[in-house]
Amino acid sequence: MRHEEGGFSAGSVLLSFLLGGMVGAGLALLLAPQSGVETRRKIRELTEEVKEKASDYVGHAKEKVVSTVEKGKHLVEEKKSAITAAFEAGKEAYEKEVHK
């Protein structure tokens, strides 16, 4: 279930958008006419915000990966039991035919 539009996944587009916005905000801070102390404070705040958003993004991505892996494990178990049951039924049918 991949949601792709134009060859890019929604997650990569969102991440690119966030990173582009942060880079733009950082450049605006560096080029703004203000004192060095004020600029450094704003850059520190921006850095903390970026780290928080990146951490949230990684957390959500990790949750999705874990969820997908769990769904995959359940699907494999379901298919494995179905194949085993079919194999056993075929084996029994074969043995009945052989003993006739």
Give this prediction's pTM. 0.46
User: Residue 1 pLDDT more than 50?
Assistant: no
Q: Which of 62, 33, 30, 59 is CA-nearest to residue 46?
A: 30
pLDDT digits (tens, 9 = 90+) for 30-57: 777 777 788 788 878 888 888 888 888 8
Q: What is the pLDDT of residue 8?
A: 67
| CA–CA distance, 89 with 63 (Å, rounded to integer) | 39
Domain chopping of the chain, boundaries: 4-99
Q: Which residues pair with 9 in a beta bridge?
A: 4
User: Residue 26 pLDDT more than 50?
Assistant: yes
Phi, psi of 3 (to 5 degrees): -100, 100
Q: Which of 30, 22, 28, 15 is CA-nearest to residue 47?
A: 22
First to last CA, the chain: 49
Q: What is the pLDDT of residue 4?
A: 45
User: Residue 2 pLDDT more than 60?
Assistant: no
User: Residue 94 pLDDT more than 60?
Assistant: yes
